[in-house]
Amino acid sequence: MQKEFQFERFVEEWATIYHPMQHHPLHNKRFFMIDNWYALQSLIRGLEVLQTPSAVIETDLEGRLDDRFDRRRYTVYIIAQAAEQGNEKDALKAKRIAKEGLLALHRMLRAFKENDELLDAMPFPKGGYLDLLRSSIQNGSKMFQAIDLEVSYNTTGEILDGWYGTWFSFEDCATYNRCVDYNDYLPKDYDTEP
């Protein structure tokens, strides 16, 4: 049974079944991981062939700890390229495509959170991550209950070379062991003098 939500696996497998993307790691790569926003231009510039639309997630997590919870913030970008750079209509279409992808991903997260019966009709790869998540949830796992899907999103202007995008962040809240673990520290009688 799955213990911790793995957002990067979720988005990558979602990108394989989302019709406008149909991500395949070898033949139609449309899922990418970057450290942070600043790496997005390098990704676009560095790839000879980048398919539109594509999903990009940040691997550098933001978060905060409070008295009981580790609140992790995940960020995902859906990017799309205008057919003709500089064409205002194409730019608007690219932004619309990016936002539609973002909405589709948000709806999929919500379906998992609400254990929607429509999940049974989804073409999840047998034995893949989404299939395992669906089984876990149907067997009583509450991992999605801590995900806050009330999110803000932003569309971005031209990122580079006619590429536009939409991004959003959301929080996942997990409990953590807040008790001091004495094994993390030197023994009390340890000589700290040089």
> Which CATH number goes with the domain that contains 83?
3.30.2000
157-162 long-range contacts (CB < 8 A, ≥24 apart) are 158/91, 159/40, 159/41, 159/44, 159/79, 160/41, 160/44, 160/45, 161/44, 161/45, 161/81, 161/85, 162/81, 162/82, 162/84, 162/85, 162/86, 162/90, 162/91, 162/94
Closest CA to 178 of 59, 69, 82, 97: 69
Query: Is residue 91 scored above 50 in pLDDT?
Result: yes
Task: Tell me: pLDDT of 12 over 80.
Answer: yes
Of these ranges, 26-35, 65-74, 113-122, 130-139, the one predicted with the greatest mean pLDDT is 26-35
187 inside domain: no
pTM check: above 0.75: yes
> 52 and 81 in contact (C-beta within 8 Å)?
yes
Is the predicted pLDDT of residue 97 greater than 80, yes or no? yes
Whole-number pLDDT of residue 1? 40
Q: Determine, yes or no, domain membership for 190.
A: no
Is 80 exceeded by the pLDDT of residue 130? yes
Is the pLDDT reported for residue 185 higher than 90?
no
Do residues 32 and 43 make contact, with C-beta atoms less than 8 angstroms apart?
A: yes
pLDDT of residue 18: 94
Answer with the residue of higher pLDDT: 22 or 171.
Answer: 22
Confidence label for 2 from pLDDT (cuts 50, 70 and 90): very low
Question: In terms of residue numbers, what domain contains 69?
Answer: 7-176
Asked, for residue 41, whether it belongs to a domain, the answer is: yes
Say which range, 83-92, 97-106, 163-172, 175-184, has the weakest mean pLDDT: 175-184
| Predicted confidence (pLDDT) at residue 56 exceeds the cutoff of 90 | yes
Q: pLDDT over 70 for what percent of the chain?
A: 91
pLDDT of residue 159: 86
Q: How many domains does the chain fold into?
A: 1
Q: Could you tell me the two tokens for 124? A: 């999840």
Across 149-170, b (16+ Cβ under 10 Å) vs e yields eeeeeeebeebeebbbbbbbeb
**Is residue 182 situated within a structural domain?**
no
Question: Mapping DSSP to helix (H, G, I), strand (E, B) and coil, where does residue 138 land?
Answer: helix
